[in-house]
Amino acid sequence: MEISDLISVEGVDANLRVTSKKQALQELSKRAAEVTGQHERAIFDVLMERERLGTTGVGNGIAIPHGKLASLDRLYGLFARLEQPIDFHSIDEQPVDLVFLLLAPETAGADHLKALARVSRLLRDATVCEKLRGTDDDEALFVLLTESSASQAA
């Protein structure tokens, strides 16, 4: 599974302006609704439910909020570079500025876990993250995400 299987240029935001974790999840839910055709509230609710189990702020300024929706037909990803870092209650207590949202059908099972692992592996690469943080263009971010993913898989 490649990042390009999950994300489209329309699912990338190079300058998301939010001031809190809740607002970030609301804005990403709105964008995800446009990309997936699902209800914004359903997406937000599933993300908040997941956050109540434990933060998806994985450290090093990165968060990977995720959830499952029965009505999805495939996995979807969205990426946002935040204009200003926010408190995401991350495991390392550092603010977050890179967010990769992952939504999966309830039936996804192993594919959901593979996608999470793929995104996590990509964002653990300090060089990739440095490039993502240095780019404020949606298309350039999309290219970085998808090309970096392809080169890591090789």
Task: Please give the full DSSP string across 2-45, using - where no structure is assigned.
Answer: -GGGT--GGGEEEEE--SSHHHHHHHHHHHHHHHH---HHHHHH
Question: Contacts from 134-140 at CB under 8 Å and sequence distance 24+?
Answer: 135/14, 135/81, 136/14, 136/15, 136/81, 137/14, 138/9, 138/12, 138/13, 138/14, 139/9, 139/12, 140/14
Does domain 3-148 fall under CATH 3.40.930.10? My reply is yes
Question: For position 88, what pLDDT does the model report?
Answer: 95
pLDDT value at residue 154 = 45
> What are the structural domain ranges in the chain?
3-148
User: Along the 154 residues of the chain, how does pLDDT read in single tens digits?
Assistant: 789 999 999 999 999 999 999 999 999 999 999 999 999 999 999 999 999 999 999 999 999 999 999 999 999 999 999 999 999 999 999 999 999 999 999 988 888 899 999 999 999 999 999 999 999 999 999 999 998 655 655 4
Predicted pLDDT at 106: 92
pLDDT at residue number 149: 58
Is 66 catalytic? The answer is yes
Nearest to 82 by CA among 120, 40, 27, 43: 27
Q: Which amino acid makes up residue 66?
A: H
Options 39, 66, 89, 112, the catalytic residue = 66
